[in-house]
Amino acid sequence: MRIGHDPGVGGAHDSAPAPADRVLGSAKLARIARRPLAYLALTKPRVIELLLVATIPTMLLADRGQVDIRLILATLFGGWMGAASANTLNCVADADIDKVMKRTAKRPLARAAVPTSHAFVFGVALGIGSFAWLWWQANLLSGLLVVATILFYVFVYTLGLKRRTAQNVVWGGAAGCMPALVGWSAVTGDIGWPALALFGVIFFWTPPHTWALAMRYKEDYRAAGVPMLPVVATEQAVTKQIVIYTWLTVLTTLALVPATGVIYTAVALVAGAWFLLMAHQLYSGVRRGESVKPLRLFLQSNNYLAVVFCGLAVDSVLGWTTLGEVFFG
């Protein structure tokens, strides 16, 4: 036996890991990298986009003509933690039905990527952090509104309404409107009527937005035992409700006209006409027995809300004379 060739004694082969070791090491690193991503997925980042769409323009309107970047960023961070908390706790409560629905089967708890107990602690910690942060950086009212949002979303919508009534997204959607109140209160310390109007815009916008998605995935909801309106009603009845709530959305955007200027008014009118056209086209197509694409309305409704709120942001930053001041002094 030649000593120089004994792999157990020394030589170049000693420092190189075996192929199996390399595979195991790579798998371990992959698992470590996936864990933070799984926790991030619990917060539903795409849903939180609504927070940005609603909060920033509301704060700009509340402080019309002024831009307090520090306060805006601080409020967004606190609001993000609050929304992330609500979404995470929603995932905990809905883990059983998420496993059944194809649309949600890849969520972290549905595929056991995160222990349920860990997700619960993560969600509660985010909620506490959100309250403390907003109380510190803004005011107590903003912090309390975030806590109310989390509790409402988890206990009233997720545990109370979602699996019991087809009106779940109508009343449960109020949780998604709260960023308007949080943003306004962060600036002013109270809740003014324009904030309530913005609350109403999102409140009435939520049903047609959600029902359009539910029309596309109604078999998923049926399999999970969730009585979304498209599961328990005909397509014609659903699309009729979509048209009604779309009209209510557009009319509520116009309630803000006295507190805004010509830019917002023009954007609200043009975007509103476009949104109404899409809703009526969907309803007409169903009535004629045509093959319709409700997912298109779902996607375009996001664009509609973004356009209206962006118009509000630009109008507020410019701070031109409001139409209320023009006509009522």
Chain segment 222-254, per-residue pLDDT in tens: 999 999 999 999 999 999 999 999 999 999 999
As for how many domains the chain has, the answer is: 1
pLDDT tens for residues 243-301?
Answer: 999 999 999 999 999 999 999 999 999 999 999 999 999 999 999 999 999 999 999 99
pLDDT tens for residues 123-133?
Answer: 999 999 999 99
CB 175 within 8 A of CB 157: yes
Supply angle C-alpha 156, 162, 165, rounded to 5: 105
For residue 35, tell me if it sits in a domain: no
User: How many angstroms separate the CA atoms of 53 and 296, rounded?
Assistant: 20
For residue 154, tell me if it sits in a domain: yes
Q: Comparing C-alpha atoms, which of 194, 193, 328, 320 is closest to residue 262? A: 320
Residue 49 has pLDDT above 90, yes or no: no
User: How many angstroms separate the CA atoms of 208 and 200, rounded?
Assistant: 14
For residue 205, tell me if it sits in a domain: yes
- Going by pLDDT thresholds of 50, 70 and 90, the confidence category of residue 50 is confident
Higher pLDDT, 89 or 18: 89
For residue 118, tell me if it sits in a domain: yes
pTM, two decimal places: 0.89
* 17 class by beta-carbon count within 10 Å (0-12 exposed, 13-18 middle, 19+ buried): exposed
User: Structural domain of residue 212, as residue ranges?
Assistant: 42-328
pLDDT tens for residues 141-156?
Answer: 999 999 999 999 999 9
For residue 27, tell me if it sits in a domain: no
